[in-house]
Amino acid sequence: MIPVIREQNMLSATIFRMLLALTIHHTLTADVPPTGVAPETSSPPASPATPGPPERGSYNVTNSSDAVCLLARMGLQLNISFISSPYDKTVQEVLNVHPNLVKSSGSCDPDSATLMLTEDNITLTFSFSLNSTSNKYHLSGLELSAAFPDVAKRLVFRNTSLNYMVGTLGHSYMCQKEKTLSVTQDFSLNTFQLQVQPFGVSGDFGAAEECDLDEDDMLIPIIVGAALAVLVLIVILAYLIGRKRSHAGYQTI
């Protein structure tokens, strides 16, 4: 009985789909304008679709004695808003950085380090600072300079008073999850699978200090573990109390 009903349902579904496809096809073909006639309206282009997650790149800076002094591994996505001149319209552009097209450079000084990434007409500069009293470093500045064909002037977004990627000298800073770094009102940087070490590099990344987002991930297992420990304690206590009581009971008899 059941298989027959299923078959009937499938058959009617197939017929329905075929009818639907035919109807859509008919509507579409009826709407196609005669070939050779260009559409008259020219509306401004819609903001392009958001690209998928960016590819992870590996960027190194070497010092004057050819030793690696800054290490970075990360996927980068730029989120820029600017006014496109042909239409005088604000455009929100989300661009992925392509590691294979990037030229990287930089410099390392005792208490500051920079990483400069250039792809086509876009240059992104990271500035790191080290506090030699506290032995803590952080990302203190980000600058994006970009030239787009539909923008007259070169766009520059800069903030030199940031406080991101705080780490301890000799350690690397790691953030596996996507993180949005707000730079200016019109520019933010999305980072993916990030690990950086701007100071105290000896060959490879030092022990990683995870960002708070990754630490949040650890919070749930910690809570579950603590709850389990409390539960076990209660069971043990209940058992001990129960044993004591029954023991006392035997004694009175």
Give residues in contact with ligand NAG (CB under 6 A): 50, 58, 60, 63-65, 67-69, 71, 79, 92, 94, 120-121, 131, 133-134, 147, 149, 159, 161-162, 182, 184-185, 188, 190, 201, 204
27 versus 133: smaller Cβ distance to ligand NAG: 133
Compare residues 27 and 161 and give the one whose CB is closer to ligand NAG.
Answer: 161
Give least dist CB 211 to ligand NAG, A: 16
Quote the tokens at residue 208. 């990683």
Q: What kind and span of H or E run contains 36?
A: none
Q: Shortest Cβ distance from residue 210 to ligand NAG (Å)?
A: 20
Our CB check for ligand NAG shows the closer of 7 and 109 to be: 109
Beta bridge partners, 174, equal: 195, 210
The nearer residue to ligand NAG, 68 or 83, going by C-beta atoms, is 68
Find all residues with CB under 8 Å of 5, minimum gap 6, and list them. none
DSSP 8-state symbol, 51: P
193 three-state secondary structure: strand
The one-letter code for the residue type at 117 is L
Neighbours of 122 (CB within 10 A): 19
- Strand pairing category for 68-84 and 187-197: antiparallel
Nearest CA among 59, 122, 68 for reference residue 95: 122
Contact in structure between 135 and 168 (CB atoms under 8 Å) = yes
| Closer CB to ligand NAG, 158 or 176, in the complex | 158
- Say how far apart CA 16 and CA 24 lie, in whole Å: 12
For ligand NAG, the closer CB: 86 or 242: 86
Task: Show contacts of 117-126: CB within 8 Å, 24+ apart.
Answer: 117/59, 117/76, 121/146, 121/147, 121/148, 122/78, 122/95, 122/97, 122/146, 122/147, 124/76, 124/78, 124/97, 124/189, 126/72
Q: Which residue number, 4 or 207, has a Cβ lying nearer to ligand NAG?
A: 207
